[in-house]
Amino acid sequence: MRHRVAGRRLSRTGEHRLAMRRNLVASLFEHETISTTIQKAKEVKPFAEKLITLAKKGTLSARRQAIAMLGNRDIIDYEDGKAVKKGTIIGKLFSEIAPRYLDRPGGYTRIIRLSLKRLGDNGQLVLLQLVGEDEGSKKQTKAATKRAARRKAKEAVGAEEEPDKDEETTEAKSKSDESNKQ
Protein backbone atom coordinates (compact mmCIF):
# COMPACT_ATOMS: atom_id res chain seq x y z
CA MET A 1 0.00 0.00 0.00
CA ARG A 2 1.13 3.54 -0.80
CA HIS A 3 -0.57 5.40 2.02
CA ARG A 4 1.01 8.83 2.56
CA VAL A 5 3.88 8.17 0.16
CA ALA A 6 4.72 11.39 -1.66
CA GLY A 7 6.12 11.76 -5.15
CA ARG A 8 6.06 9.82 -8.37
CA ARG A 9 8.46 6.97 -9.02
CA LEU A 10 8.65 7.56 -12.78
CA SER A 11 10.00 3.99 -13.26
CA ARG A 12 13.40 5.03 -11.90
CA THR A 13 15.54 4.29 -8.89
CA GLY A 14 15.86 6.92 -6.18
CA GLU A 15 19.29 8.04 -7.35
CA HIS A 16 18.12 8.31 -10.95
CA ARG A 17 15.07 10.36 -9.90
CA LEU A 18 17.24 12.74 -7.89
CA ALA A 19 19.71 13.19 -10.77
CA MET A 20 16.87 13.70 -13.26
CA ARG A 21 15.21 16.30 -11.03
CA ARG A 22 18.48 18.21 -10.59
CA ASN A 23 19.24 18.12 -14.31
CA LEU A 24 15.77 19.30 -15.31
CA VAL A 25 15.80 22.18 -12.83
CA ALA A 26 19.33 23.20 -13.84
CA SER A 27 18.24 23.19 -17.49
CA LEU A 28 15.15 25.20 -16.58
CA PHE A 29 17.25 27.85 -14.85
CA GLU A 30 19.76 27.90 -17.71
CA HIS A 31 17.29 28.12 -20.62
CA GLU A 32 14.19 29.44 -18.73
CA THR A 33 11.95 27.04 -20.68
CA ILE A 34 12.21 23.29 -21.25
CA SER A 35 10.12 20.65 -22.98
CA THR A 36 9.41 17.48 -21.03
CA THR A 37 6.58 15.10 -20.15
CA ILE A 38 3.68 16.16 -17.96
CA GLN A 39 4.62 13.74 -15.15
CA LYS A 40 8.22 14.96 -14.98
CA ALA A 41 7.12 18.61 -15.10
CA LYS A 42 4.66 18.12 -12.23
CA GLU A 43 7.38 16.43 -10.20
CA VAL A 44 10.03 19.09 -10.91
CA LYS A 45 7.89 22.24 -10.51
CA PRO A 46 7.76 22.31 -6.67
CA PHE A 47 11.52 21.72 -6.45
CA ALA A 48 12.23 24.63 -8.81
CA GLU A 49 9.90 26.94 -6.90
CA LYS A 50 11.52 26.04 -3.57
CA LEU A 51 14.93 26.88 -5.01
CA ILE A 52 13.71 30.26 -6.31
CA THR A 53 12.18 31.04 -2.91
CA LEU A 54 15.48 30.11 -1.28
CA ALA A 55 17.39 32.29 -3.75
CA LYS A 56 15.16 35.28 -2.95
CA LYS A 57 16.80 35.38 0.51
CA GLY A 58 20.14 36.01 -1.14
CA THR A 59 22.24 35.05 1.89
CA LEU A 60 25.40 32.99 1.91
CA SER A 61 23.68 30.15 3.77
CA ALA A 62 20.86 30.16 1.22
CA ARG A 63 23.43 29.94 -1.58
CA ARG A 64 25.13 27.00 0.13
CA GLN A 65 21.79 25.24 0.61
CA ALA A 66 20.96 25.73 -3.07
CA ILE A 67 24.34 24.30 -4.08
CA ALA A 68 23.74 21.30 -1.83
CA MET A 69 20.26 20.71 -3.29
CA LEU A 70 21.04 21.38 -6.95
CA GLY A 71 24.78 21.29 -7.54
CA ASN A 72 26.62 24.12 -9.26
CA ARG A 73 27.15 23.16 -12.86
CA ASP A 74 28.69 25.57 -15.34
CA ILE A 75 26.79 27.31 -18.10
CA ILE A 76 28.70 26.58 -21.31
CA ASP A 77 28.15 28.45 -24.59
CA TYR A 78 29.84 27.67 -27.88
CA GLU A 79 31.42 30.58 -29.76
CA ASP A 80 33.36 29.94 -32.97
CA GLY A 81 33.37 26.22 -32.22
CA LYS A 82 34.99 26.66 -28.81
CA ALA A 83 33.35 26.07 -25.44
CA VAL A 84 33.20 29.24 -23.32
CA LYS A 85 32.12 29.30 -19.68
CA LYS A 86 29.38 31.91 -19.15
CA GLY A 87 28.85 31.38 -15.41
CA THR A 88 27.13 28.89 -13.14
CA ILE A 89 23.54 27.84 -12.56
CA ILE A 90 23.56 29.05 -8.95
CA GLY A 91 25.09 32.36 -10.01
CA LYS A 92 22.34 32.91 -12.55
CA LEU A 93 19.67 31.82 -10.06
CA PHE A 94 20.80 34.30 -7.41
CA SER A 95 21.78 37.20 -9.67
CA GLU A 96 19.17 37.13 -12.47
CA ILE A 97 16.21 34.88 -11.65
CA ALA A 98 15.58 35.57 -7.95
CA PRO A 99 15.59 39.41 -8.21
CA ARG A 100 12.96 39.12 -10.93
CA TYR A 101 10.51 37.57 -8.42
CA LEU A 102 11.16 39.62 -5.27
CA ASP A 103 7.63 41.07 -5.23
CA ARG A 104 5.96 37.81 -6.23
CA PRO A 105 4.83 35.52 -3.37
CA GLY A 106 4.94 32.30 -5.40
CA GLY A 107 3.99 30.72 -8.69
CA TYR A 108 7.30 31.25 -10.46
CA THR A 109 6.79 28.49 -13.03
CA ARG A 110 4.01 27.34 -15.32
CA ILE A 111 3.20 24.23 -17.30
CA ILE A 112 1.84 24.68 -20.82
CA ARG A 113 0.49 21.56 -22.48
CA LEU A 114 1.57 21.00 -26.07
CA SER A 115 -0.47 19.26 -28.73
CA LEU A 116 2.59 17.18 -29.57
CA LYS A 117 3.07 13.62 -28.42
CA ARG A 118 6.47 11.96 -28.12
CA LEU A 119 7.14 9.75 -31.11
CA GLY A 120 8.50 6.71 -29.27
CA ASP A 121 5.92 6.15 -26.53
CA ASN A 122 3.20 8.73 -27.32
CA GLY A 123 3.92 10.59 -24.06
CA GLN A 124 2.17 13.94 -23.49
CA LEU A 125 4.69 16.79 -23.93
CA VAL A 126 4.56 20.10 -22.08
CA LEU A 127 6.61 23.27 -21.74
CA LEU A 128 7.85 24.05 -18.26
CA GLN A 129 8.63 27.78 -18.13
CA LEU A 130 9.66 30.45 -15.71
CA VAL A 131 6.95 33.08 -15.56
CA GLY A 132 8.05 36.44 -16.99
CA GLU A 133 8.60 39.41 -14.69
CA ASP A 134 5.89 41.50 -16.37
CA GLU A 135 3.22 38.87 -15.84
CA GLY A 136 1.30 39.04 -12.59
CA SER A 137 -1.53 37.00 -11.19
CA LYS A 138 -4.90 37.08 -12.93
CA LYS A 139 -6.40 39.34 -10.26
CA GLN A 140 -3.52 41.79 -10.57
CA THR A 141 -3.72 41.88 -14.36
CA LYS A 142 -7.48 42.46 -14.34
CA ALA A 143 -7.07 45.30 -11.85
CA ALA A 144 -4.18 46.72 -13.87
CA THR A 145 -6.23 46.69 -17.08
CA LYS A 146 -9.10 48.45 -15.32
CA ARG A 147 -6.71 51.11 -14.00
CA ALA A 148 -5.17 51.54 -17.44
CA ALA A 149 -8.61 51.94 -19.01
CA ARG A 150 -9.53 54.58 -16.42
CA ARG A 151 -6.27 56.44 -17.06
CA LYS A 152 -6.85 56.41 -20.81
CA ALA A 153 -10.40 57.70 -20.33
CA LYS A 154 -9.16 60.51 -18.05
CA GLU A 155 -6.42 61.40 -20.54
CA ALA A 156 -8.94 61.46 -23.38
CA VAL A 157 -11.23 63.76 -21.41
CA GLY A 158 -8.25 65.89 -20.40
CA ALA A 159 -7.02 66.03 -24.01
CA GLU A 160 -10.40 67.30 -25.16
CA GLU A 161 -10.36 70.07 -22.55
CA GLU A 162 -6.76 71.13 -23.08
CA PRO A 163 -7.14 72.54 -26.63
CA ASP A 164 -9.92 74.81 -25.35
CA LYS A 165 -7.61 76.10 -22.61
CA ASP A 166 -4.79 76.55 -25.12
CA GLU A 167 -7.04 78.52 -27.46
CA GLU A 168 -8.16 80.77 -24.58
CA THR A 169 -4.60 81.42 -23.48
CA THR A 170 -3.41 82.18 -27.02
CA GLU A 171 -6.33 84.57 -27.54
CA ALA A 172 -5.57 86.32 -24.23
CA LYS A 173 -1.89 86.62 -25.14
CA SER A 174 -2.66 88.09 -28.55
CA LYS A 175 -5.02 90.66 -26.98
CA SER A 176 -2.43 91.64 -24.38
CA ASP A 177 0.24 91.98 -27.10
CA GLU A 178 -2.04 94.23 -29.13
CA SER A 179 -2.77 96.44 -26.11
CA ASN A 180 0.96 96.69 -25.30
CA LYS A 181 1.77 97.78 -28.85
CA GLN A 182 -0.80 100.63 -28.75
Looking only at the bridges linking them, the beta strands covering 124-130 and 74-79 are unpaired
Over residues 169-182, mean pLDDT: 59
More confidently predicted of 182 and 126: 126
| Mean pLDDT score of the chain | 86
Over residues 1-23, mean pLDDT: 94
Cβ contact 40:118 at 8 Å: no
pLDDT at 170 over 90: no
CA end-to-end span of the chain: 105
Residue 38: the pLDDT is: 96
Residue 176: the pLDDT is: 60
Residue 135: the pLDDT is: 63
pLDDT digits (tens, 9 = 90+) for 140-167: 566 666 677 667 666 777 666 555 545 5
